[in-house]
Structures are given as C-alpha cells and as structure tokens.
Amino acid sequence: MAKKKSKLTTPEWITQGFDSPAEYEKSQGKTIKKKKTEKTFNIRECPKCGSDDMSVALGEVGVWECRKCKYKGSDINEKELTEDEFMKYLDKKGEEVA
C-alpha cells in the first residue's frame, strides 16, 4: 500500500494575522538571534602594556606572550571590532591601509 501524503497546513503566524514569522514569535515572547551580517575583527591586547603585538607562547598550551613587554599569561584583553572601527583603529595606530 502506498503512503498517504499529509495535507499542507497554513502556518500559525499567517492564520493569526501576522506579517512575518519574526513578528509572530515576538508576540509569543520568543526572541530570535540575529545573524551577524557585518564582518568583525578580533584584536588581542596585553593587559600589562596595552600592546596588540601578542602571539601564542610556543610549547605552552593556552598561554599568550606580549612581544613588547614579554608578559606571559592567559588573561588577555580581547576586543571585537566592526570593519569601520577596525579601520579607525589602524589609522590611529599608524598602519598603512591599502
């Protein structure tokens, strides 16, 4: 015997009179995580001197080393910047941008 196909049903958000699924979920008290649409850049800074010249310490797991003041540790400052903020950061730092 062949399987019966189930009937299609109208989504709940349409039958309730909402314009979009997001609007319906908002009315139900649900929150939707927005997707990141803008590119972001991560910067790691030394907690001791504030330099961004950090690298992974070789031979040690989870340890960062500052090339400027020789600080070693896992407690570093991380910043997430948008593209515009990153470009301003590079200008302030004096880096040449292509």
Q: Is residue 84 part of a domain?
A: yes
Q: Is residue 35 part of a domain?
A: no
- Work out the burial of residue 76: count CB atoms within 10 Å of its CB; fewer than 13 is exposed, 13-18 middle, 19 or more buried: middle
Does the global pTM surpass 0.85?
no
Rounded Cα gap, residues 48 and 14, in angstroms? 56
Dihedral over alpha carbons 36, 33, 79, 88 (to 10 degrees): 40
Q: Is residue 11 part of a domain?
A: no
**pLDDT tens figures, 73-88:** 988 999 999 988 998 9
Q: Is residue 21 part of a domain?
A: no
Tell me the sheet residues that pair with 65.
Answer: 55, 72
pLDDT band at 46 (very low <50, low <70, confident <90, very high): very high
24 alpha-carbon distance from chain centroid: 26
pLDDT at 32: 59
Q: Is residue 2 part of a domain?
A: no
pLDDT band at 14 (very low <50, low <70, confident <90, very high): confident
* Structural domain count, the chain: 1
Instruction: Tell me which residue range forms the domain holding 71.
Output: 43-93
Q: Is residue 72 part of a domain?
A: yes
Q: Is residue 5 part of a domain?
A: no
